């Protein structure tokens, strides 16, 4: 078997002994020391790793954090993913904690060079393949759960406080006020939408502030005036406005915006064809909105919108399936 043996320069002696023992047992072993003088180091090691059928990684406290070694490990890992069935074995020196990618793999622990015979024997046995210890798998799951739980609590730290939101709301309002004196610009449209999200987040915290719908409408007006966004992007914004209007109980307004967004999607479908429009997500969202409000605004008013939704969805689906058959 072709084996690549990875080690830090501090473990050269140990690697040399281990290499000899594996070679005596009939394995062809290469290490980063196998390179010829003048080789491009990275590409030469890369080639050795690429042609290996198994990998043995010596991990010692001195080697942890060594960037050259970490690069070797990454290359080993990528190669083991490319071609399944190329096992990775770890030899841990002393009580070093294995790097995460080695956890749960076949590991041999040695405390000094005197243990190398035992380690080599164990390793040779494992090169034939042994099942993974179920206890180890359980330990790893527990470790995984611990990391995920830590991650969950750290994510909560990104939640802005109501005071921070209120401060940002005022700051954005001032900036918008300044920009409003100048001709309409993309910056003004973007700031309006940023302020909308601050207002929405405040609302999620139970602090109701009005103004989200007019700000979104203003942004849409600017975008239509400047034509600096695609019709689909503007239809998506119109869909957001419709949803906000629905939440605010303005169902007639929501219906109007939804129908206009649907018209834009229809126009884009006519112009570009189903594969090239970005309206796919908008149309079903608008369909659900119309379904929700149809009893409140009267089914008669919504019918045209609903039939447009069905026609657009089926046109998009037919167009795509025809495209797929070609």
Which residue matches tokens 């190398």? 116
Q: Give bridge partners of residue 106 from the DSSP assignment.
A: 89
Closest-CA residue to 11 (of 67, 93, 80): 93
Give the whole-angstrom CA distance, residue 307 versus residue 312: 9
Residue 37 C-beta: closest distance to another protein, Å: 19
| Alpha helix ranges (H) inside 25-133 | 41-51, 67-82, 116-127
CB nearer to another protein: give 99 or 319: 99
Closest-CA residue to 119 (of 264, 233, 18, 236): 18
Residue 196 C-beta: closest distance to another protein, Å: 8
User: H/E element holding 136?
Assistant: helix 134-155
Residue 76 C-beta: closest distance to another protein, Å: 9
CB nearer to another protein: give 8 or 22: 8
Residues 6+ apart with CB under 8 A from 19: 5, 29, 31
Burial bucket for residue 318 (CB in 10 Å: 0-12, 13-18, 19+): exposed
CB nearer to another protein: give 32 or 75: 75
User: H/E element holding 250?
Assistant: none
What is the Rg, in whole angstroms, of the alpha carbon atoms belonging to the chain?
31
CB nearer to another protein: give 81 or 128: 81
Residue 243 C-beta: closest distance to another protein, Å: 7
Binding site for another protein (CB under 8 A): 42, 64-65, 67, 70-71, 73-75, 77-78, 81, 97, 99-101, 103-104, 140-141, 143-145, 147-148, 150-152, 154-160, 164-165, 167-168, 170-171, 193-194, 196-198, 200-201, 236-237, 239-240, 243, 281, 285
106's tokens: 């076949």
Residue 20 C-beta: closest distance to another protein, Å: 27
Residue 139 C-beta: closest distance to another protein, Å: 9
Q: Which residues of 262-279 are buried (b: 16+ CB within 10 A; e: fewer)?
A: bebbbebbeeeebeebeb
CB nearer to another protein: give 110 or 198: 198
CB nearer to another protein: give 64 or 209: 64
Phi, psi dihedral angles at 280 (to 5 degrees):
-50, -40
Residue 5 DSSP label: E
CB nearer to another protein: give 18 or 195: 195
Residue 298 C-beta: closest distance to another protein, Å: 26
Residue 236 C-beta: closest distance to another protein, Å: 8
Give the whole-angstrom CA distance, residue 156 versus residue 103: 28
CB nearer to another protein: give 12 or 200: 200
Which residue matches tokens 């600096």? 228
């Amino acid at each position: 078997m072709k084996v690549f043996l990875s080690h830090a320069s501090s473990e050269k002696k140990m690697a040399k002994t281990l290499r000899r023992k594996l070679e005596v047992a009939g394995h062809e072993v290469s290490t980063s020391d196998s390179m010829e003088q003048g080789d491009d180091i990275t590409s030469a090691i890369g080639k050795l790793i690429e042609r290996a059928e198994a990998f043995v990684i010596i991990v010692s406290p001195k080697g942890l954090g060594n960037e050259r070694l970490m690069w070797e490990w990454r290359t080993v890992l990528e190669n083991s993913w490319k071609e399944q069935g190329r096992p990775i074995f770890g030899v841990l020196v002393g009580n070093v904690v294995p790097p995460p990618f080695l956890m749960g793999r076949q590991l041999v622990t040695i405390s000094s060079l005197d243990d190398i015979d035992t380690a080599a024997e164990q390793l040779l046995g494992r090169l034939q393949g042994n099942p993974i210890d179920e206890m180890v798998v359980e330990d790893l799951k527990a470790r995984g759960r611990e990391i995920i739980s830590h991650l969950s609590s750290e994510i909560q730290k990104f939640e802005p406080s109501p005071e921070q939101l209120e401060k940002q709301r005022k700051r954005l309002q001032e900036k918008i006020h300044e920009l409003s004196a100048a001709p309409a610009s993309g910056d003004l449209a973007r700031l309006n939408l940023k302020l909308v999200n601050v207002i929405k987040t405040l609302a999620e915290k139970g602090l109701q502030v009005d103004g989200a719908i007019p700000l979104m409408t203003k942004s849409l007006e600017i975008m239509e005036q400047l034509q600096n966004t695609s019709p689909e992007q503007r239809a998506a914004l119109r869909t957001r406005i419709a949803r906000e209007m629905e939440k605010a109980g303005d169902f007639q307004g929501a219906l109007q915006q939804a129908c206009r967004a649907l018209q834009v999607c229809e126009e884009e479908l006519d112009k570009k064809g189903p594969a090239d429009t970005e309206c796919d997500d908008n149309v079903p969202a608008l369909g659900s909105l119309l379904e929700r409000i149809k009893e409140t605004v009267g089914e008669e008013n919504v019918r045209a919108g609903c039939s447009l939704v069905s026609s657009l969805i089926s046109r998009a689906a037919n167009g795509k399936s025809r495209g797929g058959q070609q």
